[in-house]
């Protein structure tokens, strides 16, 4: 037997009319607007999208707002429990400018429509939470069949507008899921996130004004539920946040022009106490009393007048390098090794970098070269390869030459990097000794930097003839050591830096970094690069979380063992192993594995490592 709502829904689809009282009032009004716009509830909604150029220009116009919204969007994604969800930010025209979705939602049909650049106004997409909130100016929830188009019936959405201090909608925050029951819990989280964005936007817009925070309860002055009014030096109101209108219920904020229009006692007396850092009591003209304080903000820097800036950032242990695309050297031991290596290179003293494979020996050498000899040649010789080729025909003749454009002049200077120096032997060692002796005799600036590396494994040093040992030993007076990746204190910065080089559309959550840190790696940074590349491929655009690391990395490198519940029963153990085997074959995709095995997703979840 159909419910009253479903009867109305059926009538809408068949006869383009329905009983108004059978549908929530906001939804009914929206359906009527859609019908007036000529939309067909069982037809295909217009797949409205901005062009790449228009999207680029729109993002440029909203760059500041997006930078304020993004942290709250990430926090909202972390707060929404369970799987199958998406959070999005749209501008005041209903254009989605940023979105974060989990793996399950990204594989759903809904995700194909809700993309960055898509337009979600009622006129083109029918009844939907984003379009409805944009039309009404209030938080809206549209679940399943409440959408005007039947093709949107699988998803449920919650959306709320974001207001500027002038009371104008500047954007929309949205959370969507195929699990309707979750949305009632999500509605409060979305509203809170929007309030946080509005407050941050308010503070950013009014840094040059006095921002007065007030609330009926003093302990709430440090929360996001505080009212905020910005005033200039004369007490004229320049902006109010949305919460102020709720607290000052009964007063018409649209007609008030000054602090004294809202509160008794005068502006000058109040501002003196507030500027002294005091929490004072203020009374509005309806005789309601509030606690108030002034919010300290940093002034915006302008072209006129003196500029004062307070640096709140802690300087790095070692300042090289500063460029965003440069490697990370924040660990104290690594930064000290870099400092010693630079000093050695500047005075022309060769040195050797010691560390296990994958600890960044070549990267450190490249950094030394880029800092001191960036525009000069960097020549890399793998001593292990030189051994396998036997006696070379003459490194000096092959690399250095006079008239050949493909060869380098020994007089120009540069950097010679000798990898795995300790194992070179025979004719290759003889030839190398001649080359390094010649390079070290060059006195003209900038000269040559000679860097060697050793992988620190327990292996015996090659046996060199006395004259070779004398020459090559000159390359080893200074040793700088690189620790294992697991011992470095800058692991999170390294992981973030590597991921930024792989994908500009992904970021790591703190819990994901913590889980990555615990993984044992034989190749250290090389293994981390491979794992982050895997996550960038497997995870949807946005935040990479601990559950992604557990699913795509930890589970992938673990041995196929049954879960503890199945280990003692041979039949259940076989089934458990099969589920884990198929799960790995399906790239750790629960939904695909469940369909292939013919079981529910909960069954797969119950057997794979959590």
Encode pLDDT of 218-239 as tens digits. Answer: 888 888 889 999 998 889 999 8
pLDDT of residue 392: 44
Of the candidate ranges 184-198, 364-378, 445-459, 533-547, the one whose mean pLDDT is the lowest: 445-459
Mean pLDDT computed over 573-585: 81
Q: Are residues 214 and 191 in the same domain?
A: no
| Residue 147 in tokens | 């959408």
pLDDT of residue 302: 45
Mean pLDDT computed over 93-120: 83
pLDDT of residue 306: 37
How many independent structural domains does the chain possess?
A: 4
Q: Quick one: pLDDT band at residue 556, thresholds 50, 70, 90?
A: low
**Res 458 pLDDT > 60:** no
| Residue 197 in tokens | 């964005």
Would residue 221 count as lying in a domain?
A: yes
Reported as half-sphere exposure (CB side, CA atoms, 13 A), residue 578 has a value of 12
Contact 91, 97 (CB under 8 A): yes
Q: Quick one: pLDDT band at residue 176, thresholds 50, 70, 90?
A: confident
Q: Are residues 76 and 129 in the same domain?
A: yes
Q: Is the dihedral of CA 68, 73, 74, 80 positive or negative?
A: positive
pLDDT of residue 35: 92
Mean pLDDT computed over 533-551: 84
Q: Are residues 345 and 478 in the same domain?
A: yes
Residue 275: exposure state from Cβ atoms within 10 A (0-12, 13-18, ≥19): exposed
Q: Quick one: pLDDT band at residue 283, thresholds 50, 70, 90?
A: very high
**Res 160 pLDDT > 90:** yes
Domain end call among 441, 467, 483: 483
**Res 329 pLDDT > 70:** yes
pLDDT of residue 422: 81
Task: Report which of residues 151 and 555 the model is more confident about.
Answer: 151
Mean pLDDT computed over 369-387: 81
Mean pLDDT computed over 521-544: 86
Nearest-angstrom CA–CA distance, 171 and 95: 9
How many Cβ atoms are within 10 Å of 195's Cβ, its own excluded? 20
Domain holding 416: CATH number? 3.40.50.300
Would residue 441 count as lying in a domain?
A: yes
- The CA R_g of the chain, rounded to the nearest whole Å, is 33
Would residue 6 count as lying in a domain?
A: no
Nearest-angstrom CA–CA distance, 539 and 521: 21
pLDDT of residue 588: 72
Of 145-149, 265-269, 431-435, 462-466, which has the strongest mean pLDDT?
Answer: 145-149
Q: Are residues 94 and 196 in the same domain?
A: yes
Q: Are residues 532 and 411 in the same domain?
A: no
Q: Are residues 192 and 58 in the same domain?
A: yes
Q: Quick one: pLDDT band at residue 461, thresholds 50, 70, 90?
A: low
Residue 70's DSSP bridge partners are none
Would residue 436 count as lying in a domain?
A: yes
Q: Are residues 435 and 501 in the same domain?
A: no
Q: What percent of the chain has pLDDT over 90?
A: 19
Host domain of residue 224: 206-295
Q: Strand 280-283 and strand 289-295: pairing?
A: antiparallel
DSSP 486-550: GG-TTHHHHHHHHHHHH-TTEEE-HHHHHHHHTS--SSTHHHHHHHHHHHHHHSPSEEE-HHHHI
Would residue 314 count as lying in a domain?
A: no
Task: Report which of residues 325 and 250 the model is more confident about.
Answer: 250
Question: Does residue 446 have a cis peptide bond before it, meaning omega lies within 30 degrees of 0?
Answer: yes
How many Cβ atoms are within 10 Å of 346's Cβ, its own excluded? 12
**Res 213 pLDDT > 80:** yes
Q: Are residues 339 and 477 in the same domain?
A: yes
**Res 267 pLDDT > 50:** yes
Nearest-angstrom CA–CA distance, 411 and 454: 28
Would residue 310 count as lying in a domain?
A: no
Q: Are residues 455 and 493 in the same domain?
A: no
Task: Report which of residues 284 and 296 the model is more confident about.
Answer: 284
Would residue 321 count as lying in a domain?
A: no
**Res 526 pLDDT > 90:** no
Task: Report which of residues 368 and 329 the model is more confident about.
Answer: 368
Q: Are residues 532 and 477 in the same domain?
A: no
Nearest-angstrom CA–CA distance, 199 and 344: 52
**Res 128 pLDDT > 80:** yes
Contact 265, 289 (CB under 8 A): no
Q: What percent of the chain has pLDDT over 70?
A: 86
Mean pLDDT computed over 378-405: 59
> What is the average pLDDT score of the chain?
81
Q: Are residues 56 and 199 in the same domain?
A: yes
Would residue 120 count as lying in a domain?
A: yes
């Amino acid at each position: 037997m159909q419910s009253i709502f479903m009867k109305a829904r059926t009538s809408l689809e068949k006869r383009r009319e329905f009983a108004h009282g059978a549908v929530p009032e906001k939804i009914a009004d929206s359906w009527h607007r859609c019908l007036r716009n000529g939309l067909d509830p069982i037809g295909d909604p217009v797949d409205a999208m901005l062009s790449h150029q228009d999207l680029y220009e729109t993002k440029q116009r909203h760059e500041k707002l997006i930078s304020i919204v993004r942290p709250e969007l990430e926090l909202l994604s972390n707060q929404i429990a369970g799987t199958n969800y998406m959070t999005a930010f749209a501008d005041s025209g209903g254009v989605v400018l940023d979105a974060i979705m989990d793996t399950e939602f990204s594989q759903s049909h809904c995700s194909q429509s809700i993309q960055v650049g898509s337009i979600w106004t009622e006129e083109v997409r029918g009844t939907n939470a984003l379009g409805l909130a944009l039309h009404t100016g209030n938080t809206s929830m549209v679940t399943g069949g409440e959408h005007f188009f039947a093709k949107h019936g699988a998803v449920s959405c919650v959306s709320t507008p974001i207001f500027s201090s002038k009371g104008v909608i500047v954007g929309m925050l949205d959370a969507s899921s195929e699990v309707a029951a979750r949305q009632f819990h999500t509605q409060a989280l979305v509203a809170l996130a929007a309030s946080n964005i509005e407050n941050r936007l308010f503070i950013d817009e009014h840094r040059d004004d006095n921002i007065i925070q007030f609330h009926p309860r003093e302990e709430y002055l440090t929360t996001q539920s505080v009212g905020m009014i910005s005033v200039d030096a004369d007490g004229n109101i320049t902006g109010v946040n949305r919460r102020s209108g709720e607290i000052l219920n009964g007063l018409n904020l649209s007609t008030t022009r000054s602090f004294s229009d809202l509160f008794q006692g005068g502006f000058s007396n109040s501002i003196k106490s507030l500027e002294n850092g005091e929490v004072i009591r203020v009374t509005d003209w309806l005789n309601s009393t509030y606690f108030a304080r002034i919010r300290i903000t940093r002034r915006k820097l302008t072209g006129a007048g003196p500029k004062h800036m307070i640096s709140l950032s802690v300087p790095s242990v070692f300042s090289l390098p500063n460029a965003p695309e440069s490697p990370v050297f924040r660990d104290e031991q690594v930064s000290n090794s870099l400092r010693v290596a630079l000093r050695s290179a500047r005075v022309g003293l060769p040195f050797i970098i010691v560390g296990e494979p994958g600890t960044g020996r070549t990267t450190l050498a490249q950094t030394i070269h880029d800092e001191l000899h960036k525009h000069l040649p960097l020549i890399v010789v793998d001593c292990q390869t030189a051994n396998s080729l036997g006696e070379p025909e003459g490194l000096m003749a092959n690399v250095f030459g006079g008239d050949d454009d493909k060869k380098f002049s020994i007089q120009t200077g540069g950097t010679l990097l000798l990898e795995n120096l300790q194992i070179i032997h025979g004719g290759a060692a003889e030839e190398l000794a001649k080359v390094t002796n010649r390079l070290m005799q060059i006195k003209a600036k900038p000269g040559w930097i000679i860097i060697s590396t050793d992988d620190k494994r327990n292996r015996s040093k090659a046996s060199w003839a006395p004259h070779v040992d004398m020459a090559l030993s000159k390359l080893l007076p200074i040793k700088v050591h690189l620790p294992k990746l697991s011992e470095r204190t800058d692991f999170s910065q390294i992981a973030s830096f590597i991921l930024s080089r792989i994908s500009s559309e992904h970021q790591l959550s703190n819990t994901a970094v913590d889980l990555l840190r615990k993984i044992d790696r034989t190749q250290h940074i090389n293994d981390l690069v491979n794992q982050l590349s895997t996550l960038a491929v497997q995870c949807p655009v946005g935040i990479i979380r601990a559950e992604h690391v557990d699913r795509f990395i930890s589970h992938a490198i673990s041995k196929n063992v049954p879960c503890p519940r199945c280990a003692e029963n041979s039949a259940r153990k076989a089934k458990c192993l099969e589920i884990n085997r198929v799960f790995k074959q399906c790239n750790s995709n629960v939904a695909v594995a469940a369909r292939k095995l013919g079981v529910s997703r909960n069954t797969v979840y119950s057997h794979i490592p959590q």
